[in-house]
Chains A and B, each alone.
Chain A
Amino acid sequence: AQKVTQAQTEISVVEKEDVTLDCVYETRDTTYYLFWYKQPPSGELVFLIRRNSFDEQNEISGRYSWNFQKSTSSFNFTITASQVVDSAVYFCALSERGKFGGNKLTFGGGTRVLVKP
C-alpha cells in the first residue's frame, strides 16, 4: 500500500524567511507522480506542483522550489521569502495508477505553515 508521511505537523516562521516542507513516500510502483497542494484557511485545495518519478531534475517556479530525490523517496518543497498569504496547510500526495485510467491520490497528513508578519 502506498503511504505518504509529512513528519512536520506545524511550522511557524517570520515573514521573508524560507520554509522547507518535508515529504517521504512509499510505493511499489516504478512510475508514479508526486504533488503538492495548498489548503488556505478558506478551505479549498489548490494544486501547486506535480512531478513524475523519472525526472529528478529539481525546479524553481517563482518563490516555490522542490527537491525530488528518488534514492531517499523524498519530495521536499520550499517556499522562499515567505509571505503572510502563504499561511496554509500544505499536503504532499502520491498518485497510484488506477485500473482503467485515472490516478488515485494518497495524501500525507499535511503541514500547517504559519507565517507571522
Chain B
Amino acid sequence: DAGVIQSPRHEVTEMGQEVTLRCKPISGHNSLFWYRQTMMRGLELLIYFNNNVPIDDSGMPEDRFSAKMPNASFSTLKIQPSEPRDSAVYFCASSIVPLAGVADTQYFGPGTRLTVL
C-alpha cells in the first residue's frame, strides 16, 4: 500500500517567490496534518484537517501561509511570499480517526526540504 506522498521532495526558491507543497494522504484516511521541522523549533504542527475541513490552524505562523484540502486525496500548503526563515522540512501526515475516544496513529510522508535563498 502506498504511504503518504509528498511533492516535491526538494524545493529551492528565492525570497519573495510563491511556494506550493503537495500531499496525498493514505487512501481511506480522514485526517491530514502539516508539520514543520527546524533545528531551532523542532517538529511543530501547522494545521490539521478532518474530513477535508480545517480544524486547527493555530500553528500557522503568518498570513503568508495557507493550506487547502479540496478533496480527500489532496492537500496543499502554500507560502506566499516566501522568506529565508521559512527554510525547513515540511511533513505531511495522515491518519484515520477511529471510534471516539481512541487515538489515531499518524503516518508521515517523506517530507519536502524547502530552502529559501
Contact = CB atoms under 8 A, between A and B. Distances in A.
Contact of A103 (B91, B103, B113): B103
Contacts of A27: none
Contacts of B109: 44
Contacts of A106: 45
A77 interface: no
Interface residues of A, number: 28
Contacts of B42: 107-110
A66 to B, nearest CB: 15
A28 interface: no
Interface in B61-96: 89, 91, 93, 95
Given A44-B108, A102-B95, A33 B56 contact: no
A38 to B, nearest CB: 11
B50 A102 contact: yes
A91 interface: yes
Contact of B107 (A47, A91, A102, A104): A47
For the residues of B in contact with A, the DSSP-based class is strand
Interface residues of B, number: 28
Contacts of A43: 89, 110-111, 113
B43 A102 contact: no
Nearest to A98: B55
Given A43-B89, A43-B111, A104 B48 contact: yes
Closest 4 CB pairs of A and B: A33-B103, A45-B108, A107-B43, A102-B31
Interface of A: 31-33, 35, 37, 43-47, 50, 52, 91, 95, 97-110
